């Protein structure tokens, strides 16, 4: 690729991702904050909230180390303002996503069978779900970036003997052990296609794996405070003890019916067509065939895990768009208006999701950050419904409803959030009625759905509504259309 083309492509990709960064301000899942910014804030500034995952040691600190470095730099130069703490990690994530996008462009130009990759790239870059997640500090986003880069470096040609991709794969499997599911077929293909079953190549595989795991154990043990192998703990708690089922259980076919179709949009139908077509003529030396087998394998294995989420499918996106690239190009060239309309609708969906849907969870934090430090916050919301100290940056007293899984095998176990929502008034009476006034919250944050159920407690505490913020057009049983902030200061 010539330099002017490189400059144009890079600038275009960066501009698109910066647009996504500007658009996406909404709440998606707790992990974006509680498994990244929150723990990095705790490490850097000495206060924050550590969820059970970090206490028992199922998360590798490697996944947040880059955020810790950013925070340490800001702290060293006394630039740790709230806005920089919130947006600098997202900006760096945007740059990393842009580089992975560039690797995807190079990969698809070099390996895809379509003569013109314009429409496949447009569909890839404007996919609402990918754009929605590409600037978020989710470990799934980082996993997708690393997967895309590894796919670019993967030796698709038999002439290539390069194993650079193995270092990237080792790194991504350390931060996200389930990534090994995606990479097992491709590693097997590489191992046998390039006849790596001699002593030298086996030693290289083992060396890369051991170096990576030793580095992970060293860093995690140091920051955890005792010896820990986070990858083993991750598999033990999620696969053996199945504690992830505490958060939701879906049917085995969920990814095929409710998981993949909504996040791919119209491309899903093209993918099904390409998938069936390719299955009829599998060639293990063909790039598309390898990717089809990898996607099918990954979806099959992930479907056996009880807890399912759409974001777990993100690492498959570059593979799916590669497989469908030729057909996307054909369809969009034949129906240009349809392709253009799809892109426009993608942008509209992204703007709605990024600027309006579930916007209250992040908006309310900017108001809470202006409260006096002696304030005491009580969040009567589903656990982790908002960010916390990473979006307050002050050592304030705050209480949330917790939702830890049953880690100790307690019979008839119910987490705190479920106990509260079963009988809010009883929980409030037991938690605060017998306490002295100085221990009562000064501010209560909750969704409007809860108001009638706790009105008596608010009246008794002489709490007044001081802020109402729009959250979502689609309220649920525990989340509402608006977020209320009550002040209980006498």
- For the residues of 362-409, what is the DSSP string, one character each? HHHHHHHTTS-TT-EEEEESSTTSS--GGGT-S--EEEE------TT-
What is the rounded CA–CA span in Å between residue 222 and residue 96? Answer: 27
The residues, ordered by sequence, that sit 6+ positions from 97 with a Cβ below 8 Å of its Cβ are 17, 134, 135, 141, 145
Say what angle helices 287-303 and 317-334 make with each other, to 10 degrees: 120
Residue 78: strand, helix, or coil? coil
Residue 461: per-residue pLDDT: 85
The answer to whether 333 and 455 have CB atoms below 8 angstroms apart is: no
Q: Which residues pair with 398 in a beta bridge?
A: 377
What is the rounded CA–CA span in Å between residue 423 and residue 457? Answer: 13
Residue 468: strand, helix, or coil? strand
Class of domain 359-488: alpha beta
Neighbouring C-beta atoms of residue 235, cutoff 10 Å: 16
What is the rounded CA–CA span in Å between residue 277 and residue 378? Answer: 55
What is the rounded CA–CA span in Å between residue 136 and residue 90? Answer: 6
Q: How far is CA 361 from the centre of its chain?
A: 17
What is the rounded CA–CA span in Å between residue 480 and residue 475? Answer: 4
Q: Report the b/e string of 421-431 with b at 16+ CB within 10 A.
A: beebeebbeeb
The ranges assigned to domains in the chain are: 6-355, 359-488
Q: Report the b/e string of 393-415 with b at 16+ CB within 10 A.
A: beebebebbebbbeeeeeeeeee
The pTM for the full model equals: 0.94
Q: What are φ and ψ of residue 84, in 5° steps? A: -70, -35
What is the rounded CA–CA span in Å between residue 458 and residue 455? Answer: 5
What is the rounded CA–CA span in Å between residue 303 and residue 346? Answer: 27
Per-residue DSSP letter, 446: E
What is the rounded CA–CA span in Å between residue 259 and residue 261? Answer: 6
Q: Name the E strands within 102-144.
A: none
Q: Which residues pair with 465 in a beta bridge?
A: 486
Closest Cα to residue 453, out of 480, 434, 415?
Answer: 480
Residue 69: per-residue pLDDT: 97
Q: Which helix (H) or strand (E) holds 328?
A: helix 317-334
Residues in the chain: 490
Runs of H (alpha helix) within 194-286 = 199-224, 230-235, 254, 260-264, 267-279
Give average pLDDT by consecutive 10-residue segment, the chain, 490 residues. Answer: 66 96 96 96 94 94 96 96 97 97 94 88 96 97 97 89 90 94 93 78 88 95 94 90 83 93 94 89 85 96 92 97 94 90 95 96 96 94 95 94 88 91 92 69 95 92 94 91 91
Residue 475: strand, helix, or coil? coil
Neighbouring C-beta atoms of residue 190, cutoff 10 Å: 20
Alpha-carbon separation of residue 343 from 47, 126, 173, 316 (angstroms): 44, 6, 33, 21
User: Do β-strands 376-380 and 397-400 pair in parallel, antiparallel, or remain unpaired?
Assistant: parallel
Residue 435: per-residue pLDDT: 56
Closest Cα to residue 191, out of 202, 203, 180?
Answer: 202
Residue 437: per-residue pLDDT: 57
What is the rounded CA–CA span in Å between residue 293 and residue 279? Answer: 8
The residues, ordered by sequence, that sit 6+ positions from 167 with a Cβ below 8 Å of its Cβ are 208, 212
């Amino acid at each position: 690729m010539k330099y002017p083309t490189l400059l144009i492509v890079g600038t275009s990709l960066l501009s698109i991702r910066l647009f996504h960064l500007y658009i996406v301000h909404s709440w998606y899942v707790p992990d974006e904050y509680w498994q990244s910014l929150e723990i990095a804030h705790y490490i850097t500034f000495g206060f924050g909230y550590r969820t059970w995952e970090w206490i028992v040691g199922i998360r590798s600190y490697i996944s947040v180390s880059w955020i810790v470095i950013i925070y340490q730099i800001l702290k060293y130069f006394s630039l740790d303002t709230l806005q920089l703490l919130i947006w600098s990690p997202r900006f760096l994530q945007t740059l990393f996503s842009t580089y992975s996008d560039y690797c995807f462009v190079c990969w698809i130009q070099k390996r895809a069978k379509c003569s013109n990759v314009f429409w496949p790239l447009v569909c890839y870059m404007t996919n609402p779900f990918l754009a929605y997640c590409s600037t978020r500090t989710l470990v799934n986003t980082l996993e997708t970036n690393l997967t895309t880069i590894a796919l670019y470096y993967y030796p698709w040609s038999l002439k290539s003997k390069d194993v650079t991709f193995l270092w990237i794969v080792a790194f991504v499997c350390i931060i996200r052990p389930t990534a090994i599911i995606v990479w097992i077929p491709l590693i097997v293909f590489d191992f046998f296609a390039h006849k790596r079953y001699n002593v030298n190549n086996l030693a290289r595989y083992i060396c890369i794996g051991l170096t990576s795991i030793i580095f992970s154990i060293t860093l995690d043990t140091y920051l955890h405070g005792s010896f820990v192998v986070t990858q083993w703990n991750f598999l033990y708690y999620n696969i053996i003890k199945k504690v992830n089922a505490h958060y939701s259980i879906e049917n085995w076919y969920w990814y095929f019916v409710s998981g993949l179709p909504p996040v791919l949009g119209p491309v899903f139908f093209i993918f099904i067509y390409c998938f069936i077509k390719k299955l009829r003529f599998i060639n293990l030396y063909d790039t598309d065939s390898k990717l089809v087998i990898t996607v099918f394998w990954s979806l099959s294995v992930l479907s056996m895990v009880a807890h399912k989420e759409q974001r777990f499918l993100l690492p498959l996106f570059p593979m799916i768009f590669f497989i469908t690239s030729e057909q996307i190009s054909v369809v969009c060239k034949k129906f240009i208006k349809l392709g253009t309309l799809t892109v426009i609708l993608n942008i509209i969906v992204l703007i709605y999701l990024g600027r309006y849907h579930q916007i209250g969870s992040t908006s309310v934090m900017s108001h809470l950050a202006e409260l006096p430090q002696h304030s005491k916050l009580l969040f009567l919301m589903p656990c982790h419904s908002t960010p916390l100290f990473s979006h307050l940056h002050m050592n304030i007293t705050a209480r949330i409803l917790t939702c830890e899984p049953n880690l100790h095998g307690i019979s008839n176990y119910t987490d705190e959030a479920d106990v509260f929502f079963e009988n809010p008034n009883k929980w409030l009476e037991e938690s605060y009625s017998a306490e002295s006034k100085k221990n009562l919250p000064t501010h209560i944050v909750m969704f409007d759905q809860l108001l009638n159920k706790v009105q008596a407690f608010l009246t008794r505490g002489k709490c007044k509504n001081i802020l109402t913020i729009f959250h979502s057009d689609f309220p649920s049983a525990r989340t509402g259309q608006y977020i209320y902030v009550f002040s209980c200061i006498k």
